[in-house]
Amino acid sequence: MNIGKQFKDGLVSQNPVLVQLLGMCSTMAITTTLFNGIGMGISVLVILTCSNVVIAALRKVIPQKIRIAAYVVVIAGFVTMVDLLIQAFVPELSKSLGVFIPLIVVNCIILGRAEAFASKNTVPAAAIDGIAQGIGYTIVLVVICIIRELLGSGTFGAGIFGVNGGGIRIIAEGYPALFLILPFGGFLTLGCLIAFMQWTANRSADKARKESEAAK
């Protein structure tokens, strides 16, 4: 078991959103404030870790043919628990995320990790994979949220800091580019982030090639 490599995979080289391109719906839909992003990220992190652990523990019991259905039931159970907990303790979050909390059931990241990792590995490895991939997802959400909230509504951390949860105002009212809060902004921001990721990957590949040529 290689914890360092698993974390590096989850955060950078196999990042669920930017590299594996999973879980796009929630990534674009709810990333309008930092509050939403952190709430969604932590919910997915908890559900992913729990379902990874249960699926890894049951991997020898679940018959091959009905495995997808079994995974979906496990995931749906944890999603229901998290949904009810959020409704009880953080009702504002439940209101602003709305239908996207129950929709974590069909978030491809969770089913994808269950199929690709948890069904083939031991319980501790699956738990670490869940935490690493969940943190990778949360970081991407938070970055997109900060960009969209800052440029789109001119605030930072609405719902968390500031007077009446209004957030810290950084750009004066009337100046922010409102379209970044609209659906268009979600597509644009994520597109640019993935392009940035590809640019860095291309650049380091170029560098490595030049170095190997120079070594010859």
Partner 1 sequence: MIARILSISLGAILVENFILVKFLGICPFLGVSKKTDTAVGMGFAVIFVMGMASVFCWLVNYLLLVPLKLQYMQTVAYILVIAALVQFVEMFLQKTMPTLYQALGIYLPLITTNCAVLGVALLNTQYNYGLIESLVYGVMGGVGFTVAIFLFASVRERLEFADLPKAFEGFPIALVSAGLIALAFMGFSGLKIW
Secondary structure percentages of the chain, helix, strand, coil, to 5: 75, 0, 25
Residues 6+ apart with CB under 8 A from 128: 1, 3, 6, 7
Q: Residue 17 or 128: which CB sits closer to partner 1?
A: 17
Residue placing its CB nearer to partner 1 in the complex, 120 or 199: 199
C-beta separation of 94 from 101 below 8 A: yes
* Piece in contact with partner 1 (CB under 8 A), picked from 49-57, 148-156, 167-175, 186-194: 186-194
Assigned token pair, 54? 């249960």
For residue 151, give both structure tokens.
């440029």
Q: Closest CB to partner 1 among 74 and 150?
A: 74
Residues of this chain, 136-165, that bind partner 1 according to CB under 8 A: none
Report DSSP state, residue 12.
Answer: I
Please list, in sequence order, all residues whose beta carbon lies within 8 angstroms of the beta carbon of residue 6, skipping any fewer than 6 positions away: 125, 128, 129, 132
Position 85 contacts partner 1 (CB under 8 A): no
Residues 3, 21, 160, 205: which binds partner 1 (CB under 8 A)? 21
Main-chain phi, psi angles of 72, to 5 degrees: -60, -40
Q: In terms of CB distance, is 124 or 179 closer to partner 1? A: 179
Q: Which two tokens stand for residue 110?
A: 């969770």
Q: Which one of the spans 34-42, 124-132, 152-160, 197-205 is the region binding partner 1 (CB under 8 A)?
A: 197-205
Of 61, 99, 172, 214, the residue at the interface with partner 1 (CB under 8 A) is 99
Q: By C-alpha distance, which of 17, 19, 48 is closest to 139?
A: 17
Q: Between residues 94 and 169, which has the closer beta carbon with respect to partner 1?
A: 94
Q: Which residues sit at the interface with partner 1, rule CB under 8 A?
A: 21-22, 24-26, 28-29, 68-69, 72-73, 76-77, 79-80, 83-84, 98-99, 102-103, 105-108, 111, 179, 182-188, 190-192, 194-196, 198-199, 202
